[in-house]
């Protein structure tokens, strides 16, 4: 049941939010204006983030922590400020629980290795059928190393998780539950707080993959009640090469470090070493200080606009897109029908035009979408299609981006109907 749609426009639908602060959106593809509908793959960056990045390299560039001088201290402060800002932004109780990584994928691999020593052969890890490969393959590798069983919460035909199965899936041997907050294919927003709550009652650790929700949905680590939360900066209007693992410091204490090297140690002998405190223990080597220095500018923007306003805007764009795609007819649209129950993206299958052909033709219209399995091959097998076309939205997306998408699909259908 569609609740909102063309009729429930919020004001921002026509203009996007803060769109003029994103320089790349002014570019063209051939002679067409760009319509960027691939924010779920990576978001565009506001001017303020680029300025902060340039400022760092022009004025503060130095390595962190090891320095006893003004420059290194400014760089260290910029780096640690990012940690504090992220903690405050996502509602983490303590900045010492925020590990700075190179992205969500690295955060999840850090976890899958870090928990290994706590698990025994036969233990179970519960995932879902809608996971991105980043929240699947690291656990498969762990399962193989350690002789574990993977279990999966099924996806219902309406795109929601079948949580009725949860009691039977949360078994005696279940040690970890890891699930996506907002699916990068279905859009489904999962009830992560509920899952975390039911897991905690049984002493099971919960991991939330917030790669698609950070910067898009209001996020509150403490309220979710999970043990670990991961996301990438680059999908939340920040720079590439930066991500986070958020936890309580005590939870981090339980993890073994994955990478060894400088900065993560305390005492090093030739034969053995001891680790530094958390979170430094997980940050071997020179971090991406420049990216960390720049990301707070993205958080500033998100907080300036307000997470609820961004959410309302993306829901309005999604409702409009769902309506328009529905009107085209003949498409299979995946995920919840209600835009309130989903993040800012729509994936679909057009039996008349293969997703690859569609995305090539859309490119001629200046419309950037993604076609493929979106790093979720098992989910696509569940859906029964080799690939889908995905349009995904950000705070800057506006009605004419969707209109151009629809026009492009019409054109593609014309081409293939000739």
Give the residues lining the site for ligand PLP (CB under 6 A): 103-105, 132, 134-135, 180, 184, 209, 211-212, 232, 234, 262, 285-286, 375
Q: Are 122 and 173 in contact (CB under 8 A)?
A: yes
Q: Which is nearer to ligand PLP, 195 or 324 (CB)?
A: 195
Q: Which is nearer to a copy of itself, 243 or 315 (CB)?
A: 243
Burial class (CB in 10 A: 0-12, 13-18, 19+), 220: middle
Q: Give min distance, CB of 263 to ligand PLP, in A.
A: 8
| The pair of three-digit structure tokens given for residue 231, joined into one six-digit string | 């996301």
213 makes contact, choosing from a copy of itself, ligand PLP, other proteins, none, with CB < 5 to 8 Å by partner type, with none
Q: Which is nearer to other proteins, 332 or 360 (CB)?
A: 360
Q: Which is nearer to a copy of itself, 176 or 368 (CB)?
A: 368
Q: Give min distance, CB of 95 to a copy of itself, in A.
A: 21
212 makes contact, choosing from ligand PLP, other proteins, a copy of itself, none, with CB < 5 to 8 Å by partner type, with ligand PLP
Q: Are 296 and 81 in contact (CB under 8 A)?
A: yes
Secondary structure (DSSP) of 344-405: SEEEEEBTTB-HHHHHHHHHHTTEE-EEE-TT-HHHHHHHT-S-EEEEE--TT--HHHHHHH
Angstrom distance (rounded) from CA 142 to CA 146: 6
Residue with tokens 């879902």: 128
209 makes contact, choosing from other proteins, a copy of itself, ligand PLP, none, with CB < 5 to 8 Å by partner type, with ligand PLP
Angstrom distance (rounded) from CA 347 to CA 374: 10
258, 375, 385, 406: the catalytic one is 375
Active site residue 375: yes
Give the SS3 label for residue 71. Answer: helix
Burial class (CB in 10 A: 0-12, 13-18, 19+), 272: exposed
Q: Which of these segments, 111-119, 197-205, 289-297, 348-356, binds other proteins (CB under 8 A)?
A: 348-356
Q: Give min distance, CB of 348 to other proteins, in A.
A: 15
Q: Which is nearer to ligand PLP, 324 or 387 (CB)?
A: 387
Count of alpha carbons within 13 angstroms of residue 59, beta-carbon side: 10
Interface residues with other proteins (CB under 8 A) are 30, 32, 65-70, 73, 76, 80, 96, 265-267, 274, 276-280, 354-357, 360-361, 364-365, 371-373, 377, 380, 386-387, 403, 407-408, 410-412, 414-416, 418
Residues acting as catalytic residues: 375
């Amino acid at each position: 049941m569609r609740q909102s749609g063309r009729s429930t426009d919020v004001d921002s639908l026509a203009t996007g939010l803060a769109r003029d602060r994103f320089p790349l959106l002014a570019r063209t593809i051939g002679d067409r204006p760009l319509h960027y509908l691939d924010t779920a793959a990576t978001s565009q960056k506001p001017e303020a983030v680029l300025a902060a990045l340039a400022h760092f390299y022009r004025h503060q560039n130095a390595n962190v922590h090891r320095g006893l001088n003004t420059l290194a201290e400014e760089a260290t402060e910029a780096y640690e400020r990012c940690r504090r800002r992220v903690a405050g932004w996502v509602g983490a109780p303590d900045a010492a629980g925020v590990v700075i990584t190179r992205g969500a994928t690295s955060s999840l691999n850090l976890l899958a290795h870090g928990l290994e020593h706590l698990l025994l052969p036969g233990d179970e890890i519960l995932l879902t059928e809608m996971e991105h490969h980043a929240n699947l393959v690291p656990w498969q590798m762990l399962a193989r190393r350690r002789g574990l069983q993977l279990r999966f919460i099924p996806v219902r035909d309406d795109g929601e998780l079948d949580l009725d199965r949860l009691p039977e899936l949360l078994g005696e041997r279940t040690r970890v539950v890891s699930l996506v907050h907002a699916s990068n294919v279905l859009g489904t927003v999962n009830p992560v707080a509920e899952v975390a709550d039911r897991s905690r009652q049984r002493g099971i650790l919960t991991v939330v993959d917030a790669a698609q929700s950070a910067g898009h949905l209001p996020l509150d680590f403490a309220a979710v009640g999970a043990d670990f939360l991961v996301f990438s900066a680059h999908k939340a209007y920040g720079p590439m090469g930066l991500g986070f693992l958020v936890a309580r410091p005590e939870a981090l204490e339980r993890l073994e470090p994955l990478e060894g090297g400088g900065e993560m140690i305390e005492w090093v002998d030739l034969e053995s070493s001891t680790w530094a405190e958390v979170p430094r223990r997980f940050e071997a080597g020179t971090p991406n200080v420049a990216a960390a220095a720049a990301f707070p500018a993205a958080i500033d923007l998100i907080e300036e606009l307000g997470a609820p306003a961004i959410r309302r805007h993306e829901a309005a764009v999604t409702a409009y897109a769902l309506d328009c795609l529905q009107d085209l007819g003949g498409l299979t649209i995946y995920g919840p029908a209600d835009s309130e129950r989903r993040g800012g993206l729509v994936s679909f299958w057009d039996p008349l035009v293969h997703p690859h052909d569609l995305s090539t033709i859309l490119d001629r219209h200046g419309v950037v979408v993604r076609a493929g399995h979106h790093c979720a091959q098992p989910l696509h097998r569940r859906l029964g299609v080799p690939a889908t076309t995905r349009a995904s939205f950000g705070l800057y997306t506006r009605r004419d981006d969707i209109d151009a998408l629809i026009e492009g699909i019409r054109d593609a259908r014309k081409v293939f109907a000739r």
